[in-house]
Amino acid sequence: MGCHNFLSIRDFSPEEIRYLLDLAREMKAHPSAHTGALKGKTLAMIFEKPSLRTRVSFDVGIQQLGGFALYLSNAEISLGKRESVYDVAKNLERMVQGIMVRTYAHDIVERMAEYASIPIINGLTDYSHPCQAMADYLTMFELKGDAAGLKVAFIGDGNNVCHSLMFAGAQLGAHVWVATPDGYEPKADAVQWAVERGRQSGGTCTLTHDPVEAATGADVVYTDVWASMGQEAEKESRHRIFAPYQVNAELFGHAKFDALFMHCLPAHRGDEVTDAVIDSAHSVVYQQAENRLHAQKAILLELMHYREVLEPVREAELLRT
């Protein structure tokens, strides 16, 4: 792979995304095959936002590969406040072999990657959530065979999860529909990138304000909370605005008979999704959650092991040519 870090799905080629998904599937099928691959290596995990799935999947994942995880909360780090991003990066690069960052501003992970000489992994920012999208499409590959040609309907807020779902769909040839209330669309640059990459992969990205239009004939119906972390003050107003976008049995009924229901979790049951949908036979939310572990193990293995092994070989080959 051509990238030293895992900051955004936009940074890779479609072939590299497929390679990582294939690696994740292989590692899931043969969990003991890479035991010890990261022996003696430590992943620093910086959490400015709390998490269940991100923390457990990265912590367990690197341990299963023989390494260690070091949890650093906002109290220890306070990026850019107690200590500059530059100083944090330059300190940690001398003590650990990789850094996962779950934060607010996307430029923090970009600056961390600029300053640190070790791999940086985006565990979530306000702009994107690439590890989640890798788990999402891994789940689609397992249950639908591929993502190419699938209609994937995201219904709700055009947020970070939506962005990464669009990016991965564009890379893999999916037809991503995004239904949001007026004024809550995904960012224009994210849409533009997805549309342009889709022209190369056979995928599309379509925006609408009509949730029924998005859900009709969908292979996958996806939603997320209406108010993300940092938007708590908007909770009441968002609840009123997003109420028509609830994924309930009626809305889900417009999808294909074998459609999947997906949610990145945590879910606010009774808000963006009803119990009748999230607890139905169509729901694969816990398979998605488990696949965070396998997708991230593939990322960790690629960045912290394969790259270390292969890069010196590639450099030697370049010197001989």
Tell me: do 160 and 231 sit in the same domain. yes
Supply the CATH number for residue 262's domain. Answer: 3.40.50.1370
Note if 258 is an active site residue. Answer: no
Dump pLDDT digits (tens) for 201-214: 999 999 999 999 99
Tell me: do 177 and 316 sit in the same domain. no
Which residue of the set 126, 264, 282, 288 is catalytic?
A: 264
In a domain, 1, yes or no: no
Residue 277: pLDDT over 90: yes
Residue with tokens 């910086």: 46
Domain range for 235 is: 132-285
Tell me: do 66 and 158 sit in the same domain. no
Which residue of the set 129, 163, 282, 305 is catalytic?
A: 129
Note if 111 is an active site residue. Answer: no
Dihedral in degrees, nearest 10, Cα atoms 136, 140, 142, 148: -130
Per the CB < 8 A criterion, the answer to whether 170 and 201 are in contact is yes
Note if 10 is an active site residue. Answer: no
Residue with tokens 């990145």: 264
The tally of domains found in the chain comes to: 2
Note if 55 is an active site residue. Answer: no
In a domain, 237, yes or no: yes
Note if 224 is an active site residue. Answer: yes
Note if 192 is an active site residue. Answer: no
Tell me: do 179 and 222 sit in the same domain. yes
Residue 215: pLDDT over 80: yes
Which residue of the set 64, 97, 132, 171 is catalytic?
A: 132
Tell me: do 97 and 161 sit in the same domain. no
Q: What distance in Å separates the CA atoms of residue 288 and residue 192, rounded to the nearest whole number?
A: 27
Tell me: do 168 and 300 sit in the same domain. no
Which residue of the set 10, 197, 292, 294 is catalytic?
A: 292
In a domain, 4, yes or no: no
Tell me: do 192 and 234 sit in the same domain. yes
Where on the phi/psi map is residue 300: left (φ > 0), alpha (ψ -120 to 50), or beta? alpha
Dump pLDDT digits (tens) for 137-163: 999 999 999 999 999 999 999 999 999
Pairing mode of beta strands 42-47, 120-124: unpaired
pTM of the predicted model as reported, rounded to 2 decimal places: 0.93
Which DSSP letter does residue 302 get?
A: I
Tell me: do 149 and 227 sit in the same domain. yes
List, edge to edge, every strand of the sheet that includes 260-263: 204-208, 175-179, 151-155, 220-223, 260-263
- Band (168; pLDDT cuts 50, 70, 90): very high
Tell me: do 136 and 248 sit in the same domain. yes
Tell me: do 118 and 82 sit in the same domain. yes
What type of residue is 65? L
